[in-house]
Structure 1
């Protein structure tokens, strides 16, 4: 099946594309620490910041890890041991998710979620989520991607921890499924060092794959994310927290509410400044031009038949006559009329 490229993708009635406002996602992830009230506060913070959507994560650990590792996490690396313990502690119940989704509807903000396994997809489908986010860790998980592809909903895939060859293979796989796809450039270090973000890859990915490209940032600052939006990212995803010093794996790489709000505001200002690729004087510029612009004027009286030369013409402000750009074209021509000193020359004087 030939892939149908979509310049514009719709998620929950929001148009996302190169000519639309940047779609901004506040990744709550597991920053709620398993506390439903904290999750609601994070949703409130996202609404305050002015984002388009919040995103959570849904997983069933027994579908992700082998049984012996879950029973004894010390069999693997220390990192795996710590991660499993945290995930066991923070995972919401199905009832909790129902309440979160209901709260998002109440606050008029789009609920998105990253399913880490197929049973989580089935659960989320009960709520008709408008799109699916695939984590960087699952960019190579073709069984999961295939399962989600059958739903024919927009898919957003992060590219952290992946080689360009793996990204190519996944993009080809999803294109073959003919699913609306947004690819997010990403560095999966928490927090990410600024000098390793390689944001210049964003327009390269767009040109290479001919699909919309976004950015999932894990840096501590907001400037790189603003830059990403300015060079073509149609989606910006950042983690949100109430306090960077809170307990949790992702808190340090997250933005606090005021910083997140500033990020959104700065992106919106840049979008206004971006405008259209045309050169046209504004009304204000026209007024300024009249005051500050230059004209060719007569520096002495000129009679009909006299030759224009550097001795009888000059350049002066304001811009009420012929532009100085025609100064050297005028030199050597005969005047077709009598002109007084100080009078502005006009286009007819070039003939």
Structure 2
């Protein structure tokens, strides 16, 4: 990344200031474990002109402590809901491969947030071009170290982290020569307009890396304003129907 015009490159596509905005349709787990819903969301993302779709990949025994998975009923209700839902919606490796190939056939990049090392290994074998790091893992330095070793660019969301935590991660990544971008993010679902504070992007730009916005609010006005303030990447959740079950 040059100092005057910092960019990352995703399969030959430059992403950064002065380049077209890179739009990520965040499917996440909104497919509800149904491959047909996932394919339909990929179709809609392609028809809408998105540049990429993004999923999540977890090996739950690597993410949660054994006592949680072995005795889920004794955990607090919120954790019970989250883990049981993740168990229900996690796609098989074979389905992931099929969805990646389908996304590529539709002209989309297939991005994914790995939550553990096993998932990184799987995604490397799959051949993805870049990694998305969830806000929850911005300070997970062992996982970041593992992802950096792939040599692929990283796109990191910064929701729930303070300036010190962001600075620590930026220093960690720069020391390892990583190619990365930062996304301002408000991690409330849905985010209230009064809490978004897009001016945080201006402070993120001081790190000399591409900066974008991952939005959880309703509507497109905030994302439009983010681009006006210099966002190079926009990530927005997509669904077929907001009344569908899900977190």
Alignment of 1:115-126 (within 5 A): 115-126=114-125
Runs of 4+ in 1 over 6 A off after TM superposition: none
User: How far 1:107 moved relative to its partner?
Assistant: 1.1
Structure 1 stretches of 5 or more lacking a match? Answer: 250-351
Deviations 1:114-140 (A, max 9, x none): 000000000001122100011000011
Would the alpha carbon gap of residues 141 and 187 (structure 1) be closer, same or farther in structure 2, given more than 3 Å must change? same
The 1-side partners of 2:164 and 2:101 are apart by 40
Tell me which residue corresponds to 1:41. 40
Of structures 1 and 2, the one scoring higher in RCO (CA 8 A, sep 6+) is: 2
Contact conserved, 1:215 with 1:233, CA < 8 A, in 2? yes
Please give the root-mean-square deviation of Cα atoms over the aligned residues, in Å. Answer: 1.2
Contact conserved, 2:55 with 2:113, CA < 8 A, in 1? yes
User: How far 1:4 moved relative to its partner?
Assistant: 6.4
Contact conserved, 1:160 with 1:188, CA < 8 A, in 2? yes
Helix, strand or coil for the counterpart of 2:126? coil
Greater Rg by CA: 1
Structure 2 stretches of 5 or more lacking a match? Answer: none
User: How far 1:76 moved relative to its partner?
Assistant: 3.3
Deviations 1:159-211 (A, max 9, x none): 0111111111011101111111100000111111110001011112102x121
Alignment of 1:71-150 (within 5 A): 71-150=70-149
Tell me which residue corresponds to 1:266. none
User: How far 1:17 moved relative to its partner?
Assistant: 1.0
The 2-side partners of 1:205 and 1:92 are apart by 34
Tell me which residue corresponds to 1:248. 246
Helix, strand or coil for the counterpart of 1:220? coil
Contact conserved, 1:4 with 1:178, CA < 8 A, in 2? no
Helix, strand or coil for the counterpart of 2:61? helix
Deviations 1:95-153 (A, max 9, x none): 10111011112211110010000000000011221000110000111110000111121
Deviations 1:220-258 (A, max 9, x none): 121001101110110000001111111111xxxxxxxxx
